[in-house]
């Protein structure tokens, strides 16, 4: 007849298994703290604040009449002014980039 483990043996086995599981969890926790993930969570791209100085602006967008992508350089007093000038020229503005002050 096979020998059945006693109640004390089962308790010792459960405690020993719990200790091993705890040590493994502790090692995993410490290794994650020491080596943070290489790719941080996604954050939306930083958007530059509007430029409020006279200069040349590269305005990109879509021509309202032809529906073609287009870009043009505009001399304006500010980014907002460049957007308005492009809108008056029939461009749906998608981006404005400050290129430099007027020389």
Phi, psi at residue 39, to the nearest 5°?
A: -105, 105
Q: Please provide the DSSP assignment of 68-98 as one string.
A: -EEEEEEEESSHHHHHHHHHHTTEEEEEEEE
Q: Collapse the DSSP code of 25 into the 3-class scheme (helix H, G, I; strand E, B; otherwise coil) and give the result.
A: helix
Region 55-100: CATH code:
3.10.20
> Structural domain boundaries of the chain?
55-100
Q: What is the pLDDT of residue 18?
A: 84
> What is the mean pLDDT, run by run of 10 residues, along the chain of 103 residues?
67 82 84 66 63 91 96 94 96 94 79
Q: What is the pLDDT of residue 36?
A: 63
Q: What is the pLDDT of residue 102?
A: 79
Geometric angle at alpha carbon 86, from 80 and 89, rounded to 5°? 145
What global pTM score does this model have?
0.53
Q: What is the pLDDT of residue 72?
A: 95
């Amino acid at each position: 007849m096979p020998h059945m483990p006693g109640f004390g043996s089962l308790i010792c086995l459960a405690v020993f298994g719990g200790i091993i599981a705890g040590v493994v969890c502790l090692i995993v926790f410490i290794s994650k703290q020491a080596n943070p993930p290489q790719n941080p969570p996604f954050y939306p791209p930083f958007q530059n604040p509007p430029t409020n100085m006279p200069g040349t602006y590269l305005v990109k967008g879509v021509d309202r009449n032809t529906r073609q992508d287009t870009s043009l350089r505009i001399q304006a007093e500010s980014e907002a002014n460049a957007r308005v000038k492009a809108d008056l020229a029939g461009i749906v503005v998608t981006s404005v980039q400050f290129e430099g002050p007027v020389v």
